[in-house]
């Protein structure tokens, strides 16, 4: 029996609700397939601030470094919004991404046919959409120095620094080419090279790397145009590669056209470690109500099975189980449309488990 060690960081808001749902699914897969998933919880974000006085305690980093993979819920919430930027829950998330050197964040956005009515776009526009946003995750304006709020001539000035080294760009771009090569062989690189030097360098590196992948069709888009094309022709995208801040924004946009932010999983990969988390946040507006959509986190577990554990069959079956559950009509409120079956977090989780059992046999 294979043993896999998973560090579980529930975080705040709906984080614990969606993580507990996804773990139920994972344990059932363990029973069905004969694997042992050993989980250990660690604190991160606001709950870590409350208990330990810091959003990323040392023992959490240690736990993650010793695990085979990390599963994370979400961090943040109004309770901690008054804190200065460097003490906020979100710093915990940025810290763990950096500590594990998770430079490539894969955010697949796929339209499920049964959910087509839940998309804010017309069905003929959105049908067939299946893209992956590869977002650089450990550089850019998120980490660049200098940063801070300073005083100059008696007035406050806020400063952040957009910064990428050649190597930081190259490693994530290479990963994106590799992913595109295994899919429909189309890569869209997104930048703002008409204005920013960082982006001009980004584009140079992408061009250099493309020579190693002659069979991948390459397109460059400026980020403003890309934001527009994602709603105009979403199904034309295969893999999008971009920097940290542009990727943050474009992946929420890509997510919602599939029906809901509550559907989108992600894998944050480095050369040694990996962390899996939904793209959505802690959703304070619905936390504690038992209505959060657990699918983004359940699909993040599928990515973990595939990328960290090499359990391809299990991952495929889990993704199929989610699709069939949607075909059966189960919907959390965020994806509900008339004539479907409205369920909460627990109802959706049980429906996925039930479908998984049916598909397994």
Which residue, 94 or 240, is less far from ligand IPM as judged by CB? 94
Question: For tokens 């995208």, what's the residue?
Answer: 237
Residue range at the interface with Mn ion (CB under 5 A); choices 96-104, 181-189, 241-249, 341-349: 241-249
**Contact 184/238 with Cβ under 8 angstroms?**
yes
Q: Does residue 292 interact with ligand NAD by CB under 6 A?
A: yes
Nearest to 29 by CA among 359, 274, 327, 287: 359
Residue from 90, 168, 314, 319 in contact with ligand IPM (CB under 6 A): 90
Which residue, 153 or 285, is less far from ligand NAD as judged by CB? 285
Burial readout 48-57 (b: 16 or more C-beta within 10 A, e: otherwise): bbeeeebbbb
Q: Does residue 93 interact with ligand IPM by CB under 6 A?
A: yes
Question: Is 271 an active-site residue?
Answer: no
Distance (Å, whole) CA 303 – CA 274: 10
Chain-centroid distance, C-alpha 73 = 10
State the nearest-atom distance from the C-beta of 239 to ligand IPM, in Å: 18
Distance (Å, whole) CA 186 – CA 82: 43
Question: Is 252 an active-site residue?
Answer: yes
Question: Is 224 an active-site residue?
Answer: yes
State the binding site. 77-90, 97, 107, 135, 224, 248, 252, 281-293
CB atoms within 10 A of CB 155: 7
State the nearest-atom distance from the C-beta of 288 to ligand NAD, in Å: 12
Question: Do you find a cis peptide bond into 146, omega within 30 degrees of 0?
Answer: yes
Nearest residue to ligand IPM, by Cβ distance, number only: 90
Q: Does residue 10 interact with ligand IPM by CB under 6 A?
A: no
Q: How many CA atoms lie within 13 A of 231 on its CB side?
A: 12
Please name every residue paired with 65 in a beta bridge, in sequence order, or none if there are none.
none
Question: What is the phi-psi region of residue 268: left when phi exceeds 0, alpha when psi lies from -120 to 50, beta otherwise?
Answer: beta
Q: Does residue 248 interact with ligand IPM by CB under 6 A?
A: yes
Write the binding mask 55 to 94 for ligand NAD: x where contact by CB under 6 A, - elsewhere: -------------------xxxx------------x--x-
Question: Is 307 an active-site residue?
Answer: no
State the nearest-atom distance from the C-beta of 97 to ligand NAD, in Å: 10
In sequence order, what are the residues at sequence separation of 6 or more whose Cβ sits closer than 8 angstroms to the Cβ of residue 98?
A: 138, 143
Distance (Å, whole) CA 307 – CA 69: 10
State the binding site for Mg(2+). 224, 248, 252
Question: For tokens 């979403």, what's the residue?
Answer: 234
Q: Which of these is catalytic: 68, 101, 252, 316?
A: 252
Q: Does residue 49 interact with ligand NAD by CB under 6 A?
A: no
Distance (Å, whole) CA 351 – CA 141: 41
Q: Angle at the Cα of 300 (from 299 to 301), degrees rounded to 5?
A: 85
Write the binding mask 3 to 32 for ligand NAD: x where contact by CB under 6 A, - elsewhere: -----------x---x--------------
- Binds 255: which of ligand IPM, Mn ion, ligand NAD, none (CB < 5-8 Å by kind): none
Q: Does residue 265 interact with ligand NAD by CB under 6 A?
A: no
Which residue, 28 or 107, is less far from ligand IPM as judged by CB? 107
Using only C-alpha atoms, the chain has a radius of gyration, in whole angstroms, of 20
List of residues contacting ligand IPM (CB under 6 A): 76, 90, 93-94, 248, 279, 281
| Catalytic positions, written as ranges | 142, 192, 224, 248, 252
List of residues contacting ligand NAD (CB under 6 A): 14, 18, 74-77, 90, 93, 261-262, 277, 280-286, 292-293, 296, 334
């Amino acid at each position: 029996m294979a043993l896999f060690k998973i560090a579980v960081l529930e975080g705040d808001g709906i984080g614990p609700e969606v993580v507990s749902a996804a773990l139920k699914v994972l344990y059932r897969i363990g029973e069905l397939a004969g694997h042992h998933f050993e989980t250990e919880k660690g604190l991160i974000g606001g709950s870590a601030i409350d208990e330990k006085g810091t959003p990323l305690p040392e023992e959490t980093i240690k736990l993650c470094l010793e695990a085979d993979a990390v599963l994370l819920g979400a961090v943040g919430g109004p309770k901690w919004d008054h804190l200065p930027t460097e003490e906020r829950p979100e710093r915990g998330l940025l810290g763990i991404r950096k500590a594990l050197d998770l430079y490539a964040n894969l955010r697949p956005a796929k339209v499920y046919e049964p959910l087509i009515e839940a998309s804010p776009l017309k069905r003929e526009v959105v049908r067939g959409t299946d893209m992956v946003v590869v977002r650089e995750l450990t550089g850019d304006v998120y980490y660049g120095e200098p940063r801070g709020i300073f005083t100059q001539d008696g007035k406050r000035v806020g400063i952040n620094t957009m910064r990428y080294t050649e190597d930081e760009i190259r490693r994530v771009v290479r990963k994106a080419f590799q992913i595109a090569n295994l899919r429909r062989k189309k890569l869209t690189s997104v930048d703002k090279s008409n204005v920013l030097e960082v982006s001009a360098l980004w584009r140079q590196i992408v061009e250099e790397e493309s020579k190693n992948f002659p069979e991948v069709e390459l397109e460059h888009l400026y980020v403003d145009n890309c934001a527009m094309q994602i709603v105009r022709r979403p199904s034309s995208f295969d893999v999008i590669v971009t920097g940290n801040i542009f990727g943050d924004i474009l992946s929420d946009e890509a997510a919602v056209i599939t029906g809901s932010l509550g559907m989108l999983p992600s894998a944050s990969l480095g050369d040694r470690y990996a962390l899996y988390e939904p793209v959505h946040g802690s959703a304070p507006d619905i936390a504690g109500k038992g209505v959060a959509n657990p699918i983004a986190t359940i699909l993040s577990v599928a990515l973990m099975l595939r990328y960290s554990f090499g359990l391809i069959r299990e991952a495929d079956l889990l993704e199929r189980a989610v699709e069939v559950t949607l075909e059966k009509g189960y919907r959390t409120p965020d994806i509900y449309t008339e004539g479907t079956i409205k369920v909460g977090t627990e109802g959706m989780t049980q429906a996925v488990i039930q479908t998984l059992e049916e598909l397994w046999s």
